[in-house]
Structure 1
Amino acid sequence: MPVAAAAAPPSQPVGCIPFGTAQLPPGVPSGGGRIGLTNLPVFTGDNAPASVEVRTPTTQFNRFSDFALVGRDLLTRPRTTGAPTAEPWRYVPMPECLRGRLAGISLDDDELVAVDDNGWIYTMDNASQDPILWNWTSAWGSPLWFSPGQQLPGENGNGWALSVSSPWDNQTYTDIAGRIHYVGLGKMTMIPALTGDGSRITFADPWLPNDDSYEIGGPLGGRFRSISLSAAGSTTFVMNRYGDMYTRSFDFDSSGSDSVFFRYSWESQAGKPTAPGLVAETIDRSTAAIQLPAPDWTHQPKIPGAITSAISVNSTGPGPGQRELRVEGSQGGVAGFWHKDLAAPGWEFTRTDAVRLGTPVDNPAADRSNDTLAPPAPWHLTGSLPARNGAIDGQVLMDIGLPYSVVDPRLLDSAGSHAAPSGYRLSVAHFDPAATSRKATVTAPDGTEIPVVLHTADGLRLFGTRGPGLDAEPRHLVGAIEVPRDAFDSRGDDPALESFVRDWMRGKQIAAITLSATDHDLVVR
């Protein structure tokens, strides 16, 4: 008899999930209450973890609760520090149509996300509150968390995580200059995930279109191939097959892409006071803006011992940099985890005797970060730099809160932004739009080549969809051209550079631009 064709994966999440409140941030301050806990059925199986110390797709924790996915059952119990808790594991309340379907979980701050076998994302809100307040929604994506659902990017089971920064728990973050800025009431929520060969980090944001087009540019110009990823409090943590590790503080909102709700500047904000909150920072132009470009990756020290692929980062308190890194491993044949504060110089080991969650990783003492690099981006682009007489430049658009992506290009045309060319041309090899900074070349009218750095941040797209990377559809970005400091300071020794700084950079080391890129063309405005 003929074999029946396999059923196609469902084109939407399961249908009984209520609308919920996960899309109404920021919620109330974390309290960790237990009202409703004793009403949850006790798990009587014998295969739940004795302790939860590493955050993986089956084990998660925040300050108040442990969560574990045991088979298809989602369990929880209060979290304690020190000795293992005597509290029993209990079943997490959820809509019945979702029970038995979950394939992975991730928790951060007051949100827990779970995915089913087909990658559909479900959010449980109020995870740092009393269990009686826990609730579920399948809503995710533009506009404003009201889209009916999204599937998890990527296919790596250990390569995705939920990241949440809230005004209650994390409170603040720092820009590239180390200046503090405040998290807004809308929080900063995303799910970064390894995609492709592990060198791409696609992120799903509940306020952005569900098109998998937004990425965190990975380490080493986006070519570092990761096998594991963890995230918490806008800190992303990755590791390759040789145990080389990098961390980065990054979110769509803090990286320069959302000038509707945030104020950015490519220029130094030295001498300006820090605003007391996001609203004040947005309104009061005398306070410091978020200085761009976004902070780059930090190369973490190697672990002096055996490790597995199970890596973890968690927030340890309010304020920037309050993160702890954990990597499952062993010392002297004893199972446990290696751990360090984000900026600590070395690792310590804690014994747990827990059942291994990850797979063993080759961890030589030498740095092997460059040994498995992905090929560079295939796009080589060049475009004319426009004359700047009377132009509306990128910094002006940022200052008035208008990202290029919502500005009618005809307005820019009428302002002279790309009328007559300046005689200078900008060229960049292997242009990866997900990368934050890369080397580029400005060619002067006399043919002299001037090395510069081209910074970019993705544009804001609330509606419509597009593919990742570059294609025939223009990708709109904000950016800046920067002359390296040493060259800028000695520009008097280079007539071509001195003329470029004087005539086009207007005497500054960094100049804001907007640009549109396709897979064959670059237009600078």
Structure 2
Amino acid sequence: MLAPGAAPGAGPSGPSGSGPAGCVPVGTAQLSPGPPPNPSHLGIDAFAVAPNQDALPARVDLRTATTSFSRFWEFALVDRVLFTRPHGSAEPWRTVPLPGCLVGRLVGISVDDDELTAIDDNGWLYTMDNAAHPPILWNWTSSFGAPLWMDRGQRMPGGHGDWALSVHAPQVQRTYTDTAGHQQFVGSAKCTMVTVLVGDGSRIVYLDPWLPNDYSYEIGSPLGGRFQAESMSTAASVTFVMNRYGDMYTRLFDFDISGADTVFFKYSWQDQSGKLPPADQFAAALDPRVARIQLPAPEWVQQPKVPGTITSTISIHATGAPGSDARELRVEGVDAHGRTGFWHKMLADDAWAFTPTGAALTGDPVENSPQDRSLDTLAPPAPYDYTVPLPDRGAARGYRLEVAEFAWATSERTATVIAPDGTRFPVELHTVDGMRMTPRGPGLDSVPRAMSGAIGLTQDLWDTRDAQSPAVRTFADAWLGGQRRAPIDLTVTDTTMAITRSEGPGLLAGLPGS
């Protein structure tokens, strides 16, 4: 699943290059989130017209490693040369000027909103800013990583598969829907990440330019982190994956939505459904009547199967409308008449339609069985099992938590609480990765990984708690404090887990109504 033309690499200090190309500036001309998108073509006439138009795509409908588009511009990478033209137009392709040390070295691109990300033949990432603005404002930077997108640069994981740039923009999407049904506001500085499919397809690493340059952050894949994706695409914080049998899932997720960014956002594990909707990003900070971002974050949603022939090329893009459902899914394929093109639907739609294009197919054939075969492509379960004491709280003393096959990147799973009298009952264990400003290794190792989360009764047990055993009632009343979920902090290694009871995520978690 290596990107076309990419060198395997071995990490940011690996043998394929000790850093990004030296002539690409560190720093950016873009002030996030920047001015509103501008469809002006000012400056495009300074770009040379491509000499061989017939060698370039007739149209760009899919976001791949060599073709991509935003609302105003489309891009193609052919023979390591980058070309552009207005999106959906018949205008001639033009060559995009590059910093001299990148000429002939780009092997992959991805575009979302006002950014274009490219990788060179050593796997280093570069960003072209202002891709939703006139070409005269386009500029390149190698900056990436903490603090505040100011580190020297990031490199793709070795042996990676599909990857895509995601930009969740406050000026375009504006809001997203949390699990309480409230329209929460996208952060004022955008949320940018590069998602990367690695290993056996069950790991989705995300690279965030505000976070350390490492491979330690992941989006847990569907089915408890075991779903093995063959294809992936991401746009505006919605990740789209498909396995070898055409089973597809989508998830609204980024660092901010997950519950991890407690510096800029206020979250709550308690039910926010009856509270006032927020008027802006900061409305919940001082007014307990206003809903905070409801946790847990949205989970994976299985998409309906495409009713026809498809390939491994999938694509998702934001339409330019506000809200978290304004995304279109596309899957390359063939219709019943043998015409090539793509199947497509809006994110929340139930049915697929087909648009013929006549374009040559770029992906591999997929055995698109009509039945669900998601369980046929599962990675082995995580090898981490823990039994740990829970902190005492009031009358709830001596309880323990048993966690089997702990997949750390997965946001939720079922665990077991063991009461002092031996009573065992199921609980939900929710986890959120922590905010870090220094690099750490991927996965679990001997270095403690700091996380937050919540423990809660399953819905059925919560609804019938008054009829349960004394051990369950004591846990619900004393340990959970009469709420379905209680926030926790935890640290995890590959051999240990420690849990403390938290007052809740966010800087103002102690305020009433949190």
TM-score normalised according to structure 2 size: 0.92
- 8 A contact 2:396–2:474 mirrored in 1: no
Moved more, 268-277 or 330-339: 268-277
Aligned equivalents of 2:439 and 2:30: distance in 1?
21
Aligned equivalents of 2:15 and 2:447: distance in 1?
30
Moved more, 49-58 or 280-289: 280-289
Aligned to 1:21: 28
Show CA shifts across 1:225-266 (max 9, x none).
001110101000000011110000001011111101110000
User: Is 1:192 aligned with 2:166?
Assistant: no
Q: Secondary structure at the match of 1:162?
A: strand
Aligned equivalents of 1:474 and 1:20: distance in 2?
33
Aligned equivalents of 1:434 and 1:52: distance in 2?
34
Q: Secondary structure at the match of 1:254?
A: helix
Q: Secondary structure at the match of 1:487?
A: helix
Q: Which amino acid aligns with 2:489?
A: T
Match runs of 1:482-493 below 5 Å:
482-493=456-467
- 8 A contact 2:112–2:165 mirrored in 1: yes
Aligned to 1:366: 371
Aligned equivalents of 2:30 and 2:207: distance in 1?
14
Aligned to 2:169: 166
Aligned equivalents of 2:220 and 2:351: distance in 1?
26
Aligned to 1:383: 388
User: Is 1:481 aligned with 2:481?
Assistant: no
Match runs of 1:213-252 below 5 Å:
213-252=216-255
Aligned to 1:68: 76
Structure 1 residues 352 and 478: CA distance shift in structure 2, 3 A: same
Aligned equivalents of 1:142 and 1:283: distance in 2?
28
Q: Secondary structure at the match of 1:238?
A: strand
Q: Secondary structure at the match of 2:126?
A: strand
Q: Which amino acid aligns with 1:306?
A: T
User: Is 1:461 aligned with 2:442?
Assistant: no
Show CA shifts across 1:130-159 (max 9, x none).
0000000000001110010001235344x1
Q: Which amino acid aligns with 2:264?
A: F
Q: Secondary structure at the match of 2:407?
A: coil
Q: Secondary structure at the match of 1:423?
A: coil
User: Is 1:51 aligned with 2:59?
Assistant: yes
User: Is 1:207 aligned with 2:215?
Assistant: no
Aligned to 2:141: 137
Aligned to 2:507: none
- 8 A contact 2:26–2:150 mirrored in 1: no
Aligned to 2:475: 500
Structure 1 residues 23 and 435: CA distance shift in structure 2, 3 A: farther
- Equivalent of 1:110, from 110, 114, 133? 114
Q: Which amino acid aligns with 1:522?
A: M
After TM superposition, give the deviation of residue 465 of structure 1 in Å: 1.7
Match runs of 1:292-303 below 5 Å:
292-303=295-306
- Equivalent of 1:35, from 28, 33, 42? 42
Aligned equivalents of 1:22 and 1:106: distance in 2?
20
- 8 A contact 1:308–1:359 mirrored in 2: yes
User: Is 1:452 aligned with 2:455?
Assistant: no
- Equivalent of 1:343, from 345, 348, 355? 348
Aligned equivalents of 1:86 and 1:472: distance in 2?
57
| Aligned residue pair count | 484
After TM superposition, give the deviation of residue 388 of structure 1 in Å: 2.7
Q: Secondary structure at the match of 2:397?
A: strand
> Structure 2: any 5+ residue segments left out of the alignment?
1-8, 501-514
- 8 A contact 2:182–2:273 mirrored in 1: no
After TM superposition, give the deviation of residue 314 of structure 1 in Å: 0.5
After TM superposition, give the deviation of residue 107 of structure 1 in Å: 0.4
Structure 1 residues 357 and 281: CA distance shift in structure 2, 3 A: farther
After TM superposition, give the deviation of residue 67 of structure 1 in Å: 0.4
Aligned equivalents of 1:108 and 1:467: distance in 2?
28
Q: Which amino acid aligns with 2:322?
A: P
Aligned to 1:510: 485
Q: Which amino acid aligns with 1:299?
A: Q
Q: Which amino acid aligns with 1:488?
A: W
Aligned equivalents of 1:259 and 1:367: distance in 2?
38
Q: Secondary structure at the match of 1:161?
A: strand
Aligned equivalents of 2:214 and 2:90: distance in 1?
44
Q: Secondary structure at the match of 2:390?
A: strand
Sequence identity percentage: 56
After TM superposition, give the deviation of residue 421 of structure 1 in Å: 9.2
Match runs of 1:293-442 below 5 Å:
293-316=296-319, 317-331=321-335, 332-388=337-393, 422-442=397-417
- 8 A contact 2:427–2:458 mirrored in 1: yes
After TM superposition, give the deviation of residue 99 of structure 1 in Å: 1.4
After TM superposition, give the deviation of residue 434 of structure 1 in Å: 0.3
Moved more, 508-517 or 21-30: 21-30
User: Is 1:149 aligned with 2:153?
Assistant: yes
Show CA shifts across 1:297-343 (max 9, x none).
01001111111111000111222210000000111221100000001
TM-score normalised according to structure 1 size: 0.90
Q: Secondary structure at the match of 1:281?
A: helix
Aligned equivalents of 1:452 and 1:77: distance in 2?
54
Aligned equivalents of 1:116 and 1:457: distance in 2?
32
Structure 1 residues 266 and 210: CA distance shift in structure 2, 3 A: same
Aligned equivalents of 2:208 and 2:466: distance in 1?
46
- 8 A contact 1:384–1:422 mirrored in 2: no
Aligned equivalents of 2:99 and 2:344: distance in 1?
36
Aligned equivalents of 1:355 and 1:371: distance in 2?
30
> Structure 1: any 5+ residue segments left out of the alignment?
1-5, 390-419
